[in-house]
Amino acid sequence: MEEKITTIAKEARKEISLASTSESLEKVRIKYLGRRAFLNKSLKEIGQLPINQRGQIGKKINQAKKELLQALNKKQKELTTTTDQPPTTKVTSSEKTLPKQGHLHPLTQTENEINQLFRSIGFSMYEGPEIETDEYCFQRLNVPLNHPARDLQDSIYIKEPNVLLSTQASSTEARLLEKEKPPFKIAFPGHVYRNEKVNKSNHFIFHHYQGVAVNKNITLKDLIGVFNLLFKHLYGEKVKVRYRCKYYPEVEPGLGLDLQCFTCKGRGCFLCKGAGWMEMGGAGIIHPLVLKKAGIDPKKWRGFAFGLGLDRWAMAKYQIDDIRTLTGGNLAYIPYLK
């Protein structure tokens, strides 16, 4: 099997180097790193190998996947750079100005990069509604009527008491748990709305990036492994993060995900409110009651769920120290091009 893994990886690197468009590169990614690709199927079947071979083969597969993901990301950057190059324009004396050139919003760039990573580890992508019902936004997430956790979110209602703007992308998670049959892994970005005071690190309109995975024997180790990969993918191998125990009604146990503040490097500043850390999202193991409400047997299946504050991930990536910049609408202001 080791020889086959080496051969497959060699063929994949060759096809990656020959890809001329983002579309063709995506086809290569699916072929070699998709859910049904040889490497991922072999990783799932590793338990059938003799015990003395499992560790070596597993390490070989993971190393091959890591190298191919790096090659894909590098090639994508090359293709993006080539695509983004402005066309050569012959300027004549009658032309006073050149056409304005656009660029992707930093939120879009960050979302695309996170999408690419989650696709590479077998997640499907989904999109949910922005107008929600009380049932999916709260009740199916273990927050019944009059539950004190509702005070944590100042909801914006369209028609009280049952129709509101989505306060969290977890409402889409509730719909997916009801609709999909396990096992599955799905990620879904979305807009959320809360009646909050606007400042440098908070906004009443912001973006969530939610994900959910349901399978047998899922643990916190799987969840933390996914986040370690994501943090390093976006911010580099030397990124400093921490995980804290935190309460969320829909998960048990729950985690708070913190990134060392990029402005003060942990010393404390206006952006992190003196803490030295920025809260980047919440996560945990899906509460058994949430699974039951969706018709999933918690004795057979387990899952993890997470919700990221996508705005803050973009701020940290592009060194933006005021969240209001992201929705300011000033096309001439490009603070992340330093």
Report pLDDT digits (tens) over 68-117.
Answer: 888 888 888 887 765 555 555 454 544 455 555 667 888 889 999 999 99
pLDDT tens across 280-303, in order? 999 999 999 999 999 999 999 999
The pLDDT of residue 27 is 86
Residues 41 and 159 in one domain: no
Structural domain includes residue 117: yes
Which of 35, 50, 82 is the C-terminal boundary of a domain?
82
Closest by CA to 326, choosing from 100, 335, 197, is 335
Query: How many structural domains is the chain composed of?
Result: 2
Query: What's the CATH code of the domain at 208?
Result: 3.30.930.10
Which residues form the domain of 277?
Answer: 106-327
Q: What is the pLDDT of residue 97?
A: 58
Structural domain contains residue 158: yes
> Which residue ranges in the chain fall short of pLDDT 70?
43, 47, 81-102, 152-153, 330-338
In a domain? residue 336: no
Same domain, 62 and 202: no
- What pLDDT sits at residue 152? 63
With the CA atoms of 283, 109, 129 and 215 taken in that order, what torsion angle do they form, in degrees rounded to the nearest 10?
-40
DSSP code at position 98? P
Specify whether 49 is located in the same domain as 138: no
CA distance 66 to 19: 19
Residue 275: the pLDDT is 93
State which of 32, 67, 82 marks the end of a domain. 82
On whether both 112 and 164 belong to a single domain, the answer is: yes
Contact 308, 208 (CB under 8 A): yes
Q: SS3 for 190?
A: strand
The first and second tokens of residue 129, run together, are 């509604």
Any domain includes 99:
no
Q: N- to C-terminal Cα distance for the chain?
A: 47
Q: Are 174 and 188 in contact, with CB atoms under 8 Å apart?
A: no
pLDDT at 330: 65
Q: 56 and 145: one domain?
A: no
pLDDT at 68: 86
pLDDT at 53: 78
Q: Does 68 reside within a domain? A: yes
Cβ-in-10-Å burial (0-12, 13-18, 19+) of 297 comes to exposed
Do 14 and 110 share a domain, yes or no? Answer: no
- Residue 328 pLDDT: 75
Per residue, the 3-state secondary structure of 226-259, as one string, reads HHHHHHHHHHCCCCCEEEEECCCCCEEEEEEEEE
